[in-house]
Amino acid sequence: MDFESFTLLAATDDLGVEPAARADADGLELRMDFADEPLAQLDAYDGDLPILVTNRPTWEGGEAADTASRLDTLEAALEHDAVTAVDLELAALEGAGDHNAGRVADAARDRDATVVVSTHNFESTPDRDAIVSRLDRACNQGDVGKMASTAQSPDDVLAMLGATRELTAAGEQVATMCMGSAGRHSRAVAPVYGSRIGYAPVDPADATAPGQYDLATLRTLVGQLQSDG
């Protein structure tokens, strides 16, 4: 996955959903921090869809302990041919955790896998300039800069969309979305402004972030908006 155009990922902790995801997804996001035996799942995987692996630490909204083994698991995942992208936290690459997250980025590049560098704000959405600044730092660390923040109002969504368009026009690859009820529609609209990645569960009961649409609904919404454009 190179994310040169919009890519819709089925977000899951169970690679067994792959057959059900094929009709609407371009790939899978395996949330290793939520999964049972994620490396064993990868060993057994024989699906068609490529995989982005995420092993989110607790300090960034995930469930993985902040230890070196979290990064070891990501490196091990990259040894699987189906894994063509990895998500790493901007804060980890800039020094948080002190476990050398850069080694995972190096391993990904050695295997021609894409590095998505992510940052989250589960409380609010900063202003447009702050979003641009943070995404620019993420883009400097990886191939795609990703930001998800919690919207409290439509103005927050406008700030995210404006930043998305600004960076896309400057030639950067970004993935953006606003979480929560006020920001839910951004998941469908942001690709119009240049966002390269969408995340959605096959079953809405299995959402991995606040405000996610189910996979089929998001594919339909994004498709309709892109064709209207």
Binding residues for 3-dehydroquinate: 29-31, 56, 187, 208, 212
Of 80, 99, 120, 185, which one is the catalytic site residue?
A: 120
Q: Which residue has the tokens 């469908």?
A: 188
Reference 30, options 49, 44, 10; nearest CA is: 10
Reference 211, options 185, 176, 189, 175; nearest CA is: 185
List, as residue ranges, the binding site: 29-31, 56, 187, 208, 212
CA distance 163 to 217: 25
The pairs formed by 134-139 with CB atoms below 8 angstroms and a separation of 24 or more are 134/90, 135/163, 135/167, 135/172, 135/174, 135/176, 136/167, 136/172, 137/90, 137/94, 138/90, 138/174, 139/167, 139/172, 139/173, 139/174
Q: Is 120 a catalytic residue?
A: yes
Reference 52, options 24, 22, 31; nearest CA is: 31
Of 80, 99, 146, 185, which one is the catalytic site residue?
A: 146
Q: Is 80 a catalytic residue?
A: no
- The catalytic residue positions are 120, 146
